[in-house]
Amino acid sequence: MIFLRLYLIFFFLIALLGCRPSNKEGVVITIAGSTSIQPFAEKLAEIYMEHHRGVIINVQGGGSTAGIRSVRGEAADIGTCSRELMEEEKDLKRIVIAWDGIAIIVHPKNNIHNLNLTHLRDIFAGKIRYWSELGWVHKRIHFVTREEGSGTRNAFEEMVMHDVPISDEALVEDSNGSVREIVAHDPHAIGYISYGIVDKRVKALSIDGVEPNLGTIKEKRYELTRPFLFVTEEEPHGLARDFIDFILSSEGQGILEREGLVGIR
Amino acid sequence: MKEKIIEKILMLLAFSAIGALLLMAVFIFKEGMPIIFKVGLKNFLFSTHWAPTKGYFGIFSMIVSSLFVTTGALIIGVPLALACAITLAEFAPQRLMVILKPTIELLAGIPSVVYGFLGVVLLVPLIRDYLGGPGLSLLACSIILAIMILPTITSISIDAIQAVPYSYKEGSLALGATHWQTIRMVILKAARSGIITAIMLGMARAIGETMAVIMVAGNALKIPSSPLSPVRTLTSNIALEMGYAAGDHRAALFATGIVLFIFIMIFNVTANIITKRWRRE
């Protein structure tokens, strides 16, 4: 009986929690767009909101193109875009907040150091099936991709695959971390992850002779580099301006670099 | 008066549990049905082309993989579990039984992510090094699931065996049958409805398991051509892609949930029918 009473009290407490007054009277800005940028934008928004009580920053996904559409339709104050703007989008105001390189990783024992984009595409399309075709041992290539909908996969498809579909034989993992984990343990695996989380247990390949590092990514000499953009309809002002300034400040850039991106400094 | 109130409260709590189930079913169907109608039931169930962001929603390979993985788990798990149950119920001394049965039941309490982690760290490298392939495979998945369903099948089977009236055993032994003959022809026959229920419950657990499967299955979309091929099951498809899914993609994941829901209903109903029929005989 006492348990039942406690249970009911507990239940009402939870119900009460749901009734606390909402703090919607503050200023609200909405950010929408690329799912690759979303986690970083959320992190930045969270820290910004800790500094500025009463400000609410809404971060939504939807994809780069949807982000630009929502800026045009004024459904969002800031759109995020993880690719260069296309011709017809060039009239929008564009701010680079960071660079992201996609590293192609293999096991450290792998004696291949360089790949060109065609070979890379053929591997992921399932056309090159053995490492011997690239001048290594006669073993099947275990290629690891990201799940459908992931921003990193999207970028990889745009920059490497173009219109060729990734083979359905590909192993699929749902995070950069687990792709790295597989490649770190399987000598015959290859995968792609954000440059920021490459560590000593895997080897990042050069693409067309250019090794990925902070310098080559910032100069865009490394081929698999993409900008992380904030896009606005007109010159940002007010809260949006302040938030962007925060991201471009050394604190904001520091946060992005700690999360694995290449800063613009 | 007080009695009445408590009765009502208990009734309310009981119905809230059923209500939750009902709400869940309604929600899943409401979210998932539109996409099934849009791409057509036949296309959805029997196409192997799954590329939801490009408009292809075929889950056939996942249905096949789910069935393969579950069958594999049963092939490996059932003989082990039954042997375990027979030994513990019939041959092991009482004192050993007191220790072993709770230990086996403890296995059921280990979180599935731990099984998955062990699978990735121990089992997958073994398969990769000694059998070939990427190691993340149908086989790894079946072995992990077999271990996970072991406690369910064993402990329910033990209960079923122990529920067989003692006079059956005495009668059989008195007729001159050996202990093993008695087990095989009398006890297992008398306990079979319980054992089938145990296997069905294990099966439902295997097909519904997600976390451990994602970690060791490799999640490739192709229909597996050998036990060493990577597979993607219905459950792992949902968990893998729900992070960024929006619009039709999200709806398609709910639709995958509907298919899973129906599978588990079929299992449970079959188990009920089998149990009832044999009980009547």
The 10s digit of each residue's pLDDT in B52-101 is 988 899 999 999 999 999 999 999 999 999 999 999 999 888 888 889 88
Out of B134, B230, B241, name the one closest to residue A148 (CB): B241
Confidence of residue A15 (pLDDT cuts 50, 70, 90): low
**Rounded-to-integer distance, Cα A47 and Cα A45, Å:** 5
Considering only the beta carbons, identify the residue of B50, B135, B220 that sits closest to A170: B220
* Chain A touched by B214 (CB under 8 Å): yes
Q: What is the pLDDT of residue B157?
A: 94
CB contact under 8 A, A149 and B244: yes
The answer to whether the CB of A137 falls within 8 A of the CB of A170 is no
For A120-255, where are the E strands, in sequence order? 142-146, 171-173, 189-194, 203-204, 206-207, 225-232
Q: What percent of chain B has pLDDT over 70?
A: 99
Q: Is residue B30 pLDDT above 70, yes or no?
A: yes
Q: In whole angstroms, what is the distance from residue A54 CA to residue A23 CA?
A: 7
**Residues of chain B neighbouring A189 (CB-CB closer than 8 A):** 134
Cβ proximity of B217 and B140 under 8 Å: yes
Reported ipTM: 0.83
Instruction: Return phi, psi of residue A88, to 5°.
Output: -75, 0
- pLDDT(B189) > 60: yes
pTM above 0.80, yes or no: yes
Contact A168 B221 (CB under 8 A): yes
* Separation of alpha carbons B272 and A215, rounded Å: 66
pLDDT at position A211 over 80:
yes
Confidence (pLDDT) at A44: 93
Interchain pair B218, A171: CB under 8 A:
yes
Strands A93-106 vs A225-232: parallel, antiparallel or unpaired: antiparallel
Q: Where are the beta strands (DSSP E) in chain A?
A: 27-33, 55-62, 78-81, 93-106, 114-115, 142-146, 171-173, 189-194, 203-204, 206-207, 225-232
pLDDT for position B22: 93
Query: Which of B53, B136, B241 comes nearest A171 by C-beta?
Result: B136
Query: What is the pLDDT averaged over residues A185-207?
Result: 92
Give the pair of three-digit tokens for residue A263: 């800063």
Whether residues B232 and A148 touch (CB distance < 8 A) is answered with no
Buried b or exposed e, range A98-134, using 16+ CB within 10 angstroms: bbbbbbbbbbeebeeeebebebbbbbbbbebeebeeb
- In this predicted model, what pLDDT tens digit does every residue of A217-249 receive, in sequence order? 988 899 999 889 999 988 888 889 999 999 999
Instruction: Tell me which of B246 and B29 has the higher pLDDT.
Output: B29
Q: From the DSSP assignment, how many helices (H) and strands (E) are in chain A?
A: 9, 11
Summarize pLDDT for A42-73 with one digit per residue, the tens. Answer: 999 999 999 888 899 999 887 788 888 889 88
Q: What was the pLDDT predicted at A13?
A: 61
Residue B9, pLDDT score: 92
Q: What percent of chain B shows pLDDT beyond 90? A: 75
Q: Which two tokens stand for residue A223?
A: 């081929």
Instruction: Please tell me the distance in Å from A142's CA to the nearest CA on chain B.
Output: 6
Q: Are B241 and A147 inside 8 Å of each other by CB?
A: yes
CA distance B102 to A206: 56
Query: For residue A4, what pLDDT band results from cuts at 50, 70 and 90?
Result: low
Whether pLDDT at A183 is above 80 = yes
Question: Is B55 an 8 Å CB contact of chain A?
Answer: no
Which of B220, B241, B243 is nearest residue A169 as measured by Cβ atoms? Answer: B220
- B37 touches B57 (CB < 8 A): no
Amino acid B80 reads L
Q: State the smallest CA–CA distance between residue B189 and chain A in angstroms.
A: 43
